[in-house]
Structure 1
Amino acid sequence: MTEARDASDLISEEVGVRFEDNSVVLPTEKPATKCLIEVVELLVESGYITKSQLPIESGYKRYLLNSEDKHKESNPMARPKQIADDIYLETNYNNTEIKNKIKMLANMADN
């Protein structure tokens, strides 16, 4: 019988993002935005993130993930990426914010 893998282990193995000492280390060969997209795609494909969990907030007025490419109050996402049918990811973040979003998603998936 195989053991279920934590989402953070899956992310490390499949995307190359490492979780060390309560921080996120991005691979140097990939842009941070690409890492975020790959993490979300992996979590959706693996069933860690489902449409029923949307929207996932990113702040006071923004969504990280939503069923449409809009934030709260119907404001459009700045740089949306369609991950799957009815799942959109906001990608307009700097590297530090991306690390925080990846950590949040991994923690959410592992709990």
Structure 2
Amino acid sequence: MQSKTDRAGTVTKYEYQPTYLSAIVKAAGTAQQQREEFVRDVAKNALLEHRIYDPKGKLRQSTVLTYNGRGQQIARTQTDAVTGVVRTLRNEYCEQAALDAGAALSWG
């Protein structure tokens, strides 16, 4: 699908790389237009980065995702380009070797 128009006449456009959706432009051609871009690791089918731009094309927010060797998400860093605030969420996974060695699970 290249674009769609809702009942109010608002157009949403879609852009693609050969194997994935790479951008969505909401309210295309209006003063409220917002562009979202997606960067993926095609081989692993993993989202690496998501960026949101304002109607003037200025970056508002970016999110970078990091994965371990098994493809599990280990970090998600969101940056507010307007305020400069950076938030990082980290994920930890129980490794079988640690469990076998008697490590206890902890919830935080």
Greater fraction of residues in helix: 1
The higher radius of gyration belongs to 2
Indicate the structure whose relative CO is greater, using CA pairs within 8 Å and at least 6 residues apart: 1
What is the TM-score normalised by the length of structure 1?
A: 0.23
What is the TM-score normalised by the length of structure 2?
A: 0.23
